[in-house]
Amino acid sequence: MNRKVLLIGLAVVVPMIAVLALSLGRDPYSVRSPLVGRPAIGFTLQEVGTGTPLALADLEGKPVVINFWATWCVPCYAEHEVLTRVARMTQSQVQFIGVVYDDDPRKILQFLSERGSAYPTVVDQGGKVAIAYGVYGVPETFFVDRRGTIVAKHEGALDEASLINYIGTILGDAR
Amino acid sequence: MTPLLGRTLILLSLLAASSGAVVAFAAASRPRLLEWARRFAFGYAALIIAANVVMVAALVGHDFSVSYVARVGSRSTPLWVTIVSLWSSLEGSILFWGMVLGLFIGGATFATRRRHEEYMPYAIGTWLAVAAFFSFLIAGPAQPFNTVVNPPADGPGPNPLLQNHILMAVHPPFLYFGFVGMTIPFGFASAALMLRRLGDDFLQPLRTSLLVAWTFLSVAIVLGGWWAYEVLGWGGYWAWDPVENASFLPWLVATAALHSAIVVERKGTLKGWTLTLVMSSFLLVILGTFMTRSGVFNSVHSFTQSEIGPTILGFLAVALLWSVALLAGNMDRIEGEAVRIEGASREGMFLINNLLFVLFTLTVLIGTVFPLLVEAVQDRQISVGRPYFDKMAVPIGAALLFLMGIGPALPWGRATRQQVERALLPPLLTAGAVLVLGALLGATNPWTLLTLFFGGYAIHVTMREMLLPVAKRVRGGDSPGRAFVEAQLVRGRRRFGSYIVHGSVILIMAAIAVSSTMKVSAEQQLRQGETMAIGDYTLRFFGAETRQEPHRLATIAHIGVYRGEKLIRNMQPRMNQYLTQREPIGTPDVYTRFRGDLYLSVMNIDPRAQTVGLHAIINPMVGWIWIATGTLALGAIVLLIPRRKSAAGESVALEASSHPSPRTRSREPLPGDAG
């Protein structure tokens, strides 16, 4: 038995297995947002078409779902349908906001008239709000509870089950 | 029906592999059983190959009652995509892995029949134990033959990115052959350790099997880079992506092992070390498999998060601990008497080569695993990127290139000062000439200039070593053609093959250095009819069009490439939006020339306003990488062609004995010998 080989071997092998074992179950695609657990950053943006200003601060007391999207984003098409349906269902309890960035208002209006809308859509000119929220790609959705704290962030298109699940957490938090 | 047949074949392959492993190990004490162990090995191979045939038939026949077909099959994809779907997704890729393992185990068992009788029980036992694990994986956590009760009429087809380029049909199989092939030398090395003997005769199958896997892996790595270059659109071919590293790590260690095996052969020393390297090549393959299939790493290659991660990790842990125990327990007995190694000698250079390769491996391994370590310990996400890897890899690579010049030039054993000078000084001329040529063509980066200098030096030595035996015969009165055939193909095939490989690697390294530091790039927003200039090309944007294709929406820019007034080519870089992807994916168009490629990719494109944001790159010498990889494979094939018995006298003596036999002593005394 060569003790040196054994010790060196174990010193390399055991920690490596340990690290790999601890890493199981990690989702390499999620970039954890440092914003989760912090107050949602306030913004005032104009509603598409009408130009009515909409301020996040005005919604305090109601849980908010902020969805970043764009008309050039193909997965957003399918997601829009889910969002609209769930938003209608939960209208009385949750406020949805669509934030469109890097897009042309005409295209947005056309998109909404073709596919319907159930909540206000605001335009993020220059993408300032998207940058403040650290949006990495569209679609991306933030869930804000009654106290204005970001509880969760979802990257990619939402399906109905997970959207309802998220809404459960922002509603449940205040009870 | 088909799912049941598939599941039965898998279960039988598991049975054949596991009972075969038991029988094989038992054959160590009861030699009669060895014949049965071989039969089990062939049986395993036949069963797992049959299971793959059933799966391909189900894919081609669109049998959506098979769960894997329902997941990746589609009636609308072309035939080649349907067949390629076999390895496009997790379960199928492991089934395919099983088949490649079957081919290797069957082939290696056949090639060693009636030979190495005392080693083979352990070798076959180890192979079949590995095979049993993979069959278990296929039968359980990654079962592709589950029954779909209400089969759908059509399926979604494989991951769209995999349908993007024909190279996707070629790169994965090469990689699997390279990865899985490492099982064979692993089995041989384990056998040597369990038997506590590594005889000269047994070195040959160990080396050959390692070289086979190494060749596939080398080609696979480059093909992967080529695919990334042709498809991903950022203008490069290597990004130190964790999964690229996963294929590079075993390659580095296997390369080191191939070289240290030469020292074992010539000097009878470094046996334990060489076996450690061979075992590590296989273990790093399993680590790489874990990295691609556990969902732990973020990469273009990763399959989605899966349940099989823990199973593979368990296997990796067992294999690692078993290898450490085997090495620690038996290494001392296997080592021959200590041999003093001279510093300025061929074997001294081999030692430095090995240290550099191991250093390279550790550097890449640490860079790859470090983010996991930090996250596990501190709950903080970090990433280790290109700058770290480039900073570490460039000097180590340059040092290895330097050794490729010095090592083959030096003689084995003690050399006189005069010999050393005669061997090392003349190549400086070529080195200087290449350096000057590079500088005249505009190279200014010090590392590039250094690479060109070392590369010129190494090419001089390589060519000299390659041509000397021919020159000698011509001077002795042979005609040049006959001299070439005799010296390179009949007698010196091994040295000839090795130096072709060396020459190719030198060319690849020079091309990497030049292409990564001397690219010219320009970005411009163009309206219809407008032009931009890059290098001596003028690019004109003719217009954009949108095309609906089965799985994607393609927006294509039509670009005319002019040199002077003359239109020399039409290029069509495009932006593809896949239905399942978040962001659109640009697909570049590449115009490959000897001096360099013109590489066009689209940053943004608007078919309504007829504007395009065009990213144009002139990538010098990239095409050389692909060409040199072809010659590298050729060199490896020359190395691998079995020797004919009649002509084998000399080389067999060379292989068989680390002590000079009469024949080896009578060889032409040349300044260098690839050994």
Give one DSSP letter per residue of B633-648, joined into a string: HHHHHHHHSPPPTGGG
Beta-carbon neighbour count of residue B383 at 10 Å?
11
Q: Is A161 on the interface with B (CB under 8 A)?
A: no
Q: Residue B462: is its pLDDT beyond 70?
A: yes
CA dihedral B122, B123, B124, B128 (to 10 degrees): 100
Residue bearing tokens 């075969």: B20
**Lowest-pLDDT choice from B191-200, B402-411, B472-481:** B472-481
Percent above pLDDT 90 for chain B: 60
Q: Residue A171: is its pLDDT beyond 70?
A: yes
Residues A8-56 have pLDDT tens digits of 999 989 988 988 888 776 665 566 677 888 888 889 999 988 888 999 8
* Chain A residues close to B381, C-beta within 8 Å: 31-32
Which residue of A9, A138, A156 is in closest CB contact with B328? Answer: A9
Q: Is B554 on the interface with A (CB under 8 A)?
A: no
Q: Can you tell me the distance from the alpha carbon of B345 to that of A22, in angstroms, rounded to the nearest whole number?
A: 46
Q: What is the mean pLDDT of residues B234-251?
A: 90
Q: Residue B232: is its pLDDT beyond 60?
A: yes
Beta-carbon neighbour count of residue B365 at 10 Å?
20
In the structure encoding, which two tokens stand for residue B204, read together? Answer: 């040959």
In the structure encoding, which two tokens stand for residue B339, read together? Answer: 């041999």
Looking at residue B303, what is its pLDDT?
54
Q: Residue B618: is its pLDDT beyond 50?
A: yes
Looking at residue B277, what is its pLDDT?
96
B391: exposed, middle or buried (Cβ count in 10 Å: 0-12, 13-18, 19+): exposed
Q: Can you tell me the distance from the alpha carbon of B97 to that of B245, in angstroms, rounded to the nearest whole number?
A: 20
Tell me the sheet residues that pair with A82. none
Beta-carbon neighbour count of residue B137 at 10 Å?
23
Give one DSSP letter per residue of A43-56, joined into a string: -EEEETTT--EEEG
Beta carbons of A9 and B369 less than 8 Å apart: no
Which residue of B309, B324, B373 is in closest CB contact with A24? Answer: B309
How close is the nearest chain A Cα to the Cα of B285, in Å?
A: 15
Closest CA to B236 of B443, B390, B411: B390
Residue A66 near residue A142, CB atoms below 8 Å: yes
How close is the nearest chain A Cα to the Cα of B296, in Å?
A: 6
Beta-carbon neighbour count of residue B653 at 10 Å?
17
A28-55 burial by CB neighbour count: b if 16+ within 10 A, else e? beeeebebeeeebeebebeebeeeeebe
Q: Residue B671: is its pLDDT beyond 60?
A: no
Chain A residue with the nearest C-alpha to that of B315: A17
Q: Is B579 on the interface with A (CB under 8 A)?
A: yes
Q: What is the mean pLDDT of residues B355-373?
A: 91
Which residue of A19, A73, A137 is in closest CB contact with B376? Answer: A19
Mean pLDDT taken over chain B = 87
Per the confidence metrics, is the pTM higher than 0.80? Answer: yes
pLDDT tier at A107, thresholds 50, 70, 90: confident
Q: What is the mean pLDDT of residues B637-649?
A: 67
Q: What is the mean pLDDT of residues B172-182?
A: 95
pLDDT tier at B199, thresholds 50, 70, 90: confident
Which residue of B295, B328, B373 is in closest CB contact with A1? Answer: B328
Beta carbons of B331 and A23 less than 8 Å apart: no
Closest CA to B48 of B23, B13, B82: B13
Q: What is the CA radius of gyration of chain B?
A: 27
In the structure encoding, which two tokens stand for residue B218, read together? Answer: 């080398």
Residue B230: left if φ>0, alpha if ψ -120 to 50, beta else—which one? Answer: alpha
Helix (H) or strand (E) holding B311: helix B308-334
* Chain A residues close to B369, C-beta within 8 Å: 16, 19-20
Q: What is the mean pLDDT of residues B601-630?
A: 92
Q: Can you tell me the distance from the alpha carbon of B558 to that of B573, in angstroms, rounded to the nearest whole number?
A: 7
Chain A residue with the nearest C-alpha to that of B329: A1
Q: Can you tell me the distance from the alpha carbon of B315 to that of B408, in angstroms, rounded to the nearest whole number?
A: 40
In single-letter form, the type of residue at position B124 comes to I
Q: Can you tell me the distance from the alpha carbon of B306 to that of B627, in angstroms, rounded to the nearest whole number?
A: 38
Q: Is A22 on the interface with B (CB under 8 A)?
A: yes
**Lowest-pLDDT choice from B29-33, B559-563, B658-662:** B658-662
pLDDT tier at B72, thresholds 50, 70, 90: confident
Which residue of B305, B309, B320 is in closest CB contact with A13? Answer: B320
Q: Is B313 on the interface with A (CB under 8 A)?
A: yes
Residue bearing tokens 């395919």: B96
Taking only residues 64 to 123 of chain A, the set having a beta carbon closer than 8 angstroms to any beta carbon of chain B reads 72-75
Q: Is B384 on the interface with A (CB under 8 A)?
A: no
Establish whether the linkage from the previous residue to B588 is cis, with ω within 30° of 0.
no
B225-246 burial by CB neighbour count: b if 16+ within 10 A, else e? bbbbbbbbbebbbbbbbbbbbb
Beta carbons of A21 and B320 less than 8 Å apart: no
Q: Is A34 on the interface with B (CB under 8 A)?
A: no
Higher-confidence residue of B490 and B436: namely B436
* Chain B residues close to A23, C-beta within 8 Å: 294, 296, 372, 375-376
Higher-confidence residue of A155 and B542: namely B542
Looking at residue B481, what is its pLDDT?
84
